[in-house]
Amino acid sequence: MSSDRELVLQLQDGDLDALGALYDRYQHIVYRTALAITGDEPAAADLLQDVFLRVHRFSHHIDPERPLEPWLYRVTTNLTYTWIKRRKRWLFRPVEDMAEWFKSGKKQSPAFQVEKKEEWRHISSAVATLPFRHRVVIVLHYFSDLSLQEISSVLDIPVGTVKSRLHYGRKALKMQLETENGISIGDVQYEFT
């Protein structure tokens, strides 16, 4: 199995098989990130294609000595921002299958699955109310499991700004979920990674 560095160098030499290998390796994280931010499956699929078109088009600008994954997250978030801005879509439409991307492969009872889908509907609706800058850090941190430092690198912002956006994003999510559900969630839990 070739390393990302080897594949980027091959792609820079015009090898389209290297692009295919990178696509196979990273398509899931790019799609999942785009879906979590946009809440729109067809848009996420289009954005996935756009990201890898950019990988091909700008392959000579990719530094093979640096990790590729943060670059892909940055391109994905930039393209989703453009998609949202262009379409003025600040609200998610319910995404029935979104939970499938993030839950374990275990078989659960139908009642449990219905409960989880309802929970995801509430969460995706609440995430949709966030401003883009807060939504992106919430998605990258909780859905893509990136550290604060990794998010800082992907978005090219200071770690303190990431912490601040996570703080205000969590606070807004807490308020939104309490308002929607009429229940108190308690104090927002903070973590330092």
Note the pLDDT tens digit of each residue in 6-41. Answer: 999 999 999 999 999 999 999 999 999 998 888 888
pLDDT of 112-164, one tens digit each?
Answer: 666 666 777 777 777 878 888 998 898 888 888 888 998 998 888 999 999 99
Residue 184: exposure state from Cβ atoms within 10 A (0-12, 13-18, ≥19): exposed
CA distance 27 to 45: 10
pLDDT of 110 reads 62
Structure tokens at 89: 């879509």
Q: Are 93 and 47 in contact (CB under 8 A)?
A: no
CATH architecture of 1-91: Orthogonal Bundle (1.10)
pLDDT of 82 reads 86
pLDDT of 13 reads 94
Looking at every residue in the chain, the average pLDDT score rounds to: 80
pLDDT of 192 reads 44
Q: Has residue 96 got a pLDDT over 90?
A: no
Q: Has residue 56 got a pLDDT over 70?
A: yes
Q: Please tell me whether residue 46 adopts helix, strand or coil conformation.
A: helix
DSSP, residue by residue, 78-143? HHHHHHHHHHT--SPPP-TTHHHHHS-S----HHHHHHHHHHHHHHHHHHHTS-HHHHHHHIIIII
**Radius of gyration for the chain, computed over Cα atoms and rounded to the nearest angstrom:** 18
Q: Please tell me whether residue 33 adopts helix, strand or coil conformation.
A: helix
Where are the chain's structural domains?
Answer: 1-91
The neighbour count for residue 44, using CB atoms within 10 Å, is 24
Q: pLDDT exceeding 90 applies to what percent of the chain?
A: 45
